[in-house]
Amino acid sequence: MHVQIVLFDGFDPLDVIAPFEVLHCGGAASGAVSVELVSAEGPREVVGGTGGLALRATAALDPGHADLILVPGASGRVGEPHEVSGNDAGAGERPRDESIPVLLGRALATGLPALLKEAMDDPDVTVAAVCGGSLLLAMAGLLEGRPATTHHLGLELLGAAGAEAVNARVVDDGGLVTSAGVTSGLDLGLYLLEREVGPRIAHAVEELFAHERRGTVWRAQGPVPTGL
């Protein structure tokens, strides 16, 4: 399984690093997983939204080359959905203290949405998202009617953008797997290892990281609960 984790300007570092380490460790333990950081523009240094921390994308996002594409959220002020980017930054600079809606909106103005649509249209590619990554997908019009989750502060916006918002730690909708707040990237990575590689590998990584997964993975299966 080849995994591409997407970087865009203002990304949340923990959304990236947590699943990267889990999946990379699973690959080292099994030989069955490879992971790389990518961007829509190709190899470049990408500045995240937390303290100017930058990571380097080593390749271009390529749905034809990936089995799994993982989309992080953005790191910034919670802000309001209608906020727009300010114009007070100098040439080549990104304004500080931007809101998450602004950062996601800027990512939507790049070539990223078209590449993500290509991935979601391919039945051989699984698309995963951590935290606000689900909002990015929904705002791009790619989650219409599909169950998904995000950070609890963004669930209302997720529903307003057309998704079926589910308040769960991890939501598995087949070719789309999403997780909630930023630390849920650990749980998402471990669940994907279990689903795609096997529970022995997932358990070994879970033990190594001294992290016990939280919550039930929600799927649209079984009877609908009543009377609760």
Domains of the chain: 2-218 (3.40.50.880)
Q: What is the pLDDT of residues 17-28, one digit of tens each?
A: 999 999 999 999
Note the pTM of the prediction, 2 decimals: 0.93
CA nearest neighbour of 63 among 18, 19, 127? 127
Which of the four pLDDT bands, split at 50, 70 and 90, describes residue 143? Answer: very high
What pLDDT, on the 0 to 100 scale, is given for residue 77?
87
User: Which tokens belong to 91?
Assistant: 């040439």
Mean pLDDT along residues 182-198 = 97
- HSE-CB for 71 with a 13 A CA cutoff: 29
What pLDDT, on the 0 to 100 scale, is given for residue 182?
87
pLDDT of residue 50 exceeding 50, the answer is yes
CB-CB contact of 21 with 27 (8 Å): no
pLDDT of residue 88 exceeding 50, the answer is no
Q: What is the pLDDT of residues 91-131, one digit of tens each?
A: 344 555 789 999 999 999 999 999 999 999 999 999 999 99
Which of the four pLDDT bands, split at 50, 70 and 90, describes residue 81? Answer: low
Interacting residues of 110 by C-beta distance below 8 A, sequence separation 6+? 8, 40, 41
Residue 173 CA to residue 208 CA, distance in Å, equals 28
